[in-house]
Structure 1
Amino acid sequence: MTFTETKLKGCFILQPRVFSDDRGYFFESFNEKTFSKGVGKSVKFVQDNQSFSTYGIVRGIHYQVGHNAQAKLVRVLSGRVLDVAVDLRENSTTFGQHIAVELSAENKKQLFIPRGFGHGFSVLSETAEFFYKCDNFYNKESEGGIVYNDENLQIDWKIESSKIKVSEKDLVLPTLKSARL
């Protein structure tokens, strides 16, 4: 597995070694030793989540604050998404900046998003199954979010604005400037 650090310190794109033949393929999606060496620290994942969405859905931008902050290792089981991580670490030189990476069942890439980041994704295929590991348990009182179309973030979700579908909850999220970090 190769680990490529993005412009956002601590945020990595993971590309597994895939072994294919006429029967199909095999790859190791997670190995604690390899992962810890690749990201330069040990991360203990305690919760797995999975979602199913249809084309045009935008989920996010979500995060957890304080002691309940979560690091995530995300990947796509079927379909294709644009995965977005936003640096919310106020002392970071890349605070307020984001990266966007296409994750798909075909490319098998994963994204490691450390604590202190917001996360969201848009579905680029007809449907997509999204899977993520978290290093902390979800806590409703600690959840926060930033509206997906924040003018200062300028995220291109790769979907026509008229075709974007967002939950009512996500539509009323604050901008980065007024978010509780």
Structure 2
Amino acid sequence: MNIIECDIQGPLIIEPRVFGDERGFFFESWNEAGFAAAGLDLKFVQDNHSRSQKGVLRGMHFQNPGPQGKLVRVASGAVFDVAVDLRRSSPDFGKWTGVVLSAENKRMFWVPEGFAHGFLTLEDNTDFLYKCTAPYAPQFEGSLAWNDPAVGIEWPLDGIEPKLSAKDATGLSLDQVTAFP
């Protein structure tokens, strides 16, 4: 696999080795030994799958305490996936990085503990899959405002208004969230 560092410390873009021919393709989306050899010694406790229509924005979510690291990918469709550093001790605190993940490019995105995470669906019927390093704990979930000007995420909205859940529509500003040390 090919690992690409992002413009902030922590998140990584992972390009798996894909084997394909006229019948289709095959790739390993997770191999504990292979990831450990690449410096990502991860233990996952939960797998999740969501489906969304074009224009749905989910995020920016985090858990504190009980932070989750997430290995995310798209099985069908495409998303613009974003991580925001919420670690106050980090030189990148409050900065974001984003990547297009699609069924076509087969890229994965590692979002470490201490980051808010979210995505905008770019196509209808997008299936988004992610592995988590900690179980979901709704009592500790936080939501950073997807449009906080202090963070300045450049969502590829192309003039449309994103479809948000009630929780995501009321996310907190960077100075209001319970950040990590």
Identity of aligned residues (%): 45
Greater helix fraction, Structure 1 or Structure 2 = 1
Q: For residue 94 of structure 1, report the CA deviation from its aligned partner.
A: 0.5
TM-score by length of 1: 0.95
- Identify the residue that residue 10 of structure 2 maps to in structure 1: 10
The answer for unaligned runs of 5 or more in structure 1 is: none
Q: Which segment drifts farther, 124-133 or 103-112?
A: 124-133
Separation in 2 of the partners of 1:44 and 1:18?
Answer: 23
Secondary structure of residue in 2 paired with 1:162? coil
Moved over 4 A (4+): none
The answer for unaligned runs of 5 or more in structure 2 is: none
Q: For residue 143 of structure 1, report the CA deviation from its aligned partner.
A: 0.6
Separation in 2 of the partners of 1:11 and 1:29?
Answer: 17
Residues 106-154 of structure 1: CA deviation (Å, up to 9, x unaligned) = 0000000110000000001122000000010011111111111111111
Question: Which amino acid in the other structure matches residue 114 of structure 2?
Answer: G
Question: Which amino acid in the other structure matches residue 155 of structure 1?
Answer: I
In the comparison of the two structures, how many residue pairs are matched?
179
Instruction: Indicate how the Cα distance of structure 1 residues 28 and 152 shifts in structure 2: closer, same or farther if over 3 A, else same.
Output: same
Secondary structure of residue in 2 paired with 1:82? strand
Residues 1-58 of structure 1: CA deviation (Å, up to 9, x unaligned) = 11112122221100011111111111111111111222x2421001000100001100
TM-score by length of 2: 0.95
**Alignment pair present for 1:156 and 2:157:** no
Secondary structure of residue in 2 paired with 1:112? strand
Superposed CA RMSD: 1.1
